[in-house]
């Protein structure tokens, strides 16, 4: 089970790198960020597929997308200087709470 979470973490990291690079592609007109985006998403989906062999798809996707949203929004705030208002922060807190609840209390994780 621990290996599944490692794969999931690696998938999340590749997805975060790919999405961050996506902003820099300028509509896929810049080669290096475009390559980082394509390779990053390919690696993300490869590693995302590994925990799906034994974990429910809904749980894996909820963790992957929720953690990705938190990381990407944080990068947008720090790196791209994007402002976050109170509703955005509240929504992120709810997403984070949902991911924590799934991981700590869901019996669905046991397959």
Residue-range domain boundaries for the chain: 2-105
Which of the two residues, 105 and 46, has the higher pLDDT score?
46
| Predicted pLDDT of residue 58 | 86
- DSSP classification of residue 107: S
The answer to whether the CB of 51 falls within 8 A of the CB of 103 is: no
Whether residue 87 has pLDDT greater than 90: yes
Whether residue 27 has pLDDT greater than 70: yes
Q: Percent of the chain scored above 90 by pLDDT?
A: 76
| Predicted pLDDT of residue 105 | 84
| Predicted pLDDT of residue 24 | 93
Whether residue 71 has pLDDT greater than 60: yes
Q: Name the pTM for this structure.
A: 0.85
- DSSP classification of residue 72: H
Whether residue 63 has pLDDT greater than 80: yes
Cα 9 to Cα 25, 78, 87, 88, 108, distances in angstroms = 24, 21, 27, 24, 19
Rounded CA gap, 61 and 107, in Å?
Answer: 16
| Predicted pLDDT of residue 70 | 92
Whether residue 16 has pLDDT greater than 80: yes
Rounded CA gap, 45 and 84, in Å?
Answer: 29
Whether residue 102 has pLDDT greater than 90: no
Cα 55 to Cα 30, 93, 104, 108, distances in angstroms = 37, 25, 15, 8
Rounded CA gap, 111 and 99, in Å?
Answer: 18
The answer to whether the CB of 21 falls within 8 A of the CB of 42 is: no
């Amino acid at each position: 089970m621990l290996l599944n979470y490692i794969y999931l973490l690696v998938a999340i990291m590749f997805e975060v790198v790919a999405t961050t690079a996506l902003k820099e592609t300028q509509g896929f007109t810049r080669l290096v960020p475009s390559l980082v985006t394509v390779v990053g998403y390919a690696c993300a989906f490869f590693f995302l597929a590994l925990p799906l062999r034994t974990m429910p798809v809904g749980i894996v996707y909820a963790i992957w997308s929720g953690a990705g949203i938190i990381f990407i929004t944080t990068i947008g705030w720090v790196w791209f200087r994007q402002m976050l208002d109170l509703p955005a922060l509240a929504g992120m807190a709810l997403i984070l709470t949902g991911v924590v609840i799934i991981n700590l209390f869901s019996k669905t994780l046991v397959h």
